[in-house]
Amino acid sequence: MEYLIGIDVGTTGIKTVIFNPEGKAISSAFELCSLNTPYPNWAEQNPEEWWEATKLSLKRALSTSQIKPSQIKGIGLSGQMHGAVLLDKGCQVLRPCILWCDQRTSSQCKWIIDKLGEKRLASITGNTALPGFTAPKVVWVRDNEPEIYEKIDKVLLPKDYIRFRLTNVIATEVSDAAGSLLFDINKREWSKEILEKMKIPKDWMPKCFESIDVCGRISKKVAKETGLKEGIAVVGGGADNTCSAVGTGIVKEGKLSSSIGTSGVVLAYTPEVKRDPLLRTHTFCHSVPHRWYVMGVMQSAGLSLRWFRDTLGMLETKLGELSGIDPYFFFSKEAEKVRPGSEGLIFLPYLMGERTPHLNPNAKGTLFGLTMRHRREDIIRAIMEGVVYGLKDSLQIIKSINIDVDEIRVTGGGARSKLWCQIQADVFGQEVVTLGSEEGPALGAAILAAVGVNLYTTVEEAVEKMVKIGPSLEPIAENVRRYEEYHQLFQSLYRDLKEDFDKVSEV
């Protein structure tokens, strides 16, 4: 039998998963990577650490799989978006990679908007300039580290640095390039206009492929270092969000995914470029050839419950340590005791500002309606509900730009909680479907590899065979009505507090 590998270059570490052609995970390995924050709002990683973690995870996954290297047919790559890996003419890394969550580039974003005009910029890239994107990071290096800027020969995205180390090929693909703010998402190519106006040489940018294209093959050196066979095909792969979309089956009209991980993502497939006129959501190239997606992003989805765990959840954390059970299981069980609406308690999950729909770094987390009646379990449920209210904000925007949503698939760590899935069904007022695998981005990368090496003809065909569906949950009519009222209160609270959020940030 032939097998496929999906490698996910994440912020917390590198995950390698080996799949069979039916999408079953045969073995996996995960290697942690460190995150450096040398100054407030900065976030950097060392690309060399990614590479060492990639080699280790490949060796571990192969050794536990009992699969012969000759049985590996293809490799797909998934990776965190927007990072800037800067290489010199000798292909050496010039500085640590500035990550997607880094917020240092506000003035560079303003410069880009002034240079191009927000309307023109959005018409080309599908987005406005935000600190997370790649282009402002390159401009920041120009403004603050000119001695580094002068040595730049190539600008790579995180997973594409791993591709280079695996194959010696400098390349990228459309879904990740689309998140750089240097890419024409309509033509699916680097934007000559943007590059010229920013004075960024076009030859700094790697050759761009579709996600299913074979971009390189495993080198002889890497084969010796990892146990892989020389010559295995490495396909374009995709950004983590598009690979997650492929891995959850969001490859046809009418399908949408709702993901609760550290952040929250609502993502919908579209066969043509569609944008929110107010630019509250992002529009990027999909990993399905010549297709696109619209995405709303929350900064602190699962992170909100993690905040509770780290500050007020010592009991559950200790229980988890003693029992070997995830403390989030205990949180979910406690929240099940509470009626929908959390006894009038509403949580605004803006612990790190917010992207969709507010694009407001000054937004603050808020627990509203607290009384002597409330207990810990009410707060837990209010946090879970508040996160889903935020996801609904994105869902409403996506529906407002004439994207049909016939099926919602829930994924991410939040999908392990039946309660959190039910809250999504009730708040959305729509059936939600769970999935049979939690491998998301790695599975999506493997699916793209399966198409690239001709195990399947199209991404849609591969998804049909490799993505497994789990149970679905119907909305409860009484809860739908209650949550509609609470969601309206949730939205009005932000409007009422917005100016105060700004004042608190100034103070």
Q: Which residues are catalytic?
A: 240
**Dist. CA 353–CA 365, nearest whole Å:** 8
Q: What is the mean pLDDT of residues 337-350?
A: 97
Give the model's confidence band at 367: pLDDT under 50 very low, under 70 low, under 90 confident, else very high: very high
Give the model's confidence band at 439: pLDDT under 50 very low, under 70 low, under 90 confident, else very high: confident
> How many of the other CB atoms lie within 10 Å of CB of 243?
31
Instruction: Read off the tokens for 390.
Output: 């935020």
pLDDT tens per residue, range 376-389:
999 999 999 999 99
* Phi, psi of 324, rounded to the nearest 5 degrees: 80, 10
Comparing CA positions, the residue from 227, 211, 298, 143 lying closest to residue 135 is 143
What's the DSSP call for residue 236? Answer: -
Query: In this prediction, what percent of the chain has a pLDDT beyond 90?
Result: 89
Amino acid at site 385: E
Q: What is the mean pLDDT of residues 392-409?
A: 97
Instruction: Read off the tokens for 478.
Output: 């009484």
> How many of the other CB atoms lie within 10 Å of CB of 226?
20
pLDDT > 90? residue 1: no
What is the pTM (predicted TM-score) of this model? 0.91
Q: Give residue 63's pLDDT.
A: 94
pLDDT tens per residue, range 283-302:
999 999 999 999 999 989 99
Give the model's confidence band at 422: pLDDT under 50 very low, under 70 low, under 90 confident, else very high: very high
Give the model's confidence band at 362: pLDDT under 50 very low, under 70 low, under 90 confident, else very high: confident
Task: Assign residue 493 a region (left: φ > 0; alpha: ψ between -120 and 50; beta: otherwise).
Answer: alpha
Comparing CA positions, the residue from 219, 260, 231, 237 lying closest to residue 432 is 260
Comparing CA positions, the residue from 90, 26, 108 lying closest to residue 64 is 26
Q: Give residue 507's pLDDT.
A: 83
- Report CA-CA distances (Å) from 491 to 272, 353, 391: 30, 15, 12
Q: Which CATH class is domain 3-236?
A: alpha beta
Indicate the pairing of strand 432-435 with strand 405-411. Answer: parallel
Longest CA–CA span in the chain (Å) reads 67
Q: Give residue 176's pLDDT.
A: 97
Comparing CA positions, the residue from 210, 203, 144 lying closest to residue 170 is 203
pLDDT averaged over every residue in the chain: 95
Angle between helical axes of 314-323 and 327-335 (0-180°, round to 10) = 130
pLDDT > 90? residue 437: no
> How many of the other CB atoms lie within 10 Å of CB of 405?
16
Length of the chain: 507
**Dist. CA 458–CA 226, nearest whole Å:** 30
Query: In this prediction, what percent of the chain has a pLDDT beyond 70?
Result: 100
The three-state (H, E, C) secondary structure of 422-448, written as one string: HHHHHHHCCCEEEECCCCHHHHHHHHH
pLDDT tens per residue, range 70-106:
999 999 999 999 999 999 999 999 999 999 888 899 9
Q: Is the omega angle on the peptide bond into residue 96 within 30 degrees of 0, that is, cis?
A: no
**Cβ–Cβ < 8 Å for 288, 279:** no
**Dist. CA 46–CA 57, nearest whole Å:** 17
**Dist. CA 21–CA 427, nearest whole Å:** 36
pLDDT > 90? residue 29: yes
Residue ranges of the alpha helices (H) in 372-475?
376-400, 418-428, 440-452, 459-466
Question: 4-29 burial, b if ≥16 CB within 10 A, otherwise e?
Answer: bbbbbbbbebbbbbbbbbebebbbbb
Long-range (24+ apart) CB contacts under 8 A made by 39-43 are 39/104, 41/102, 41/103, 41/104, 42/98, 42/102, 42/103, 42/104, 43/98, 43/99, 43/100, 43/101, 43/102
**Dist. CA 247–CA 29, nearest whole Å:** 18
pLDDT > 90? residue 471: yes
Q: What is the mean pLDDT of residues 171-180?
A: 97
**Dist. CA 149–CA 427, nearest whole Å:** 48
Q: What is the mean pLDDT of residues 470-477?
A: 96
pLDDT tens per residue, range 227-248:
999 999 999 999 999 999 999 9
Q: Give residue 342's pLDDT.
A: 97
Q: What is the mean pLDDT of residues 423-433?
A: 97
Instruction: Read off the tokens for 402.
Output: 């004439």
**Cβ–Cβ < 8 Å for 13, 32:** yes
**Dist. CA 242–CA 471, nearest whole Å:** 23
pLDDT > 90? residue 258: yes
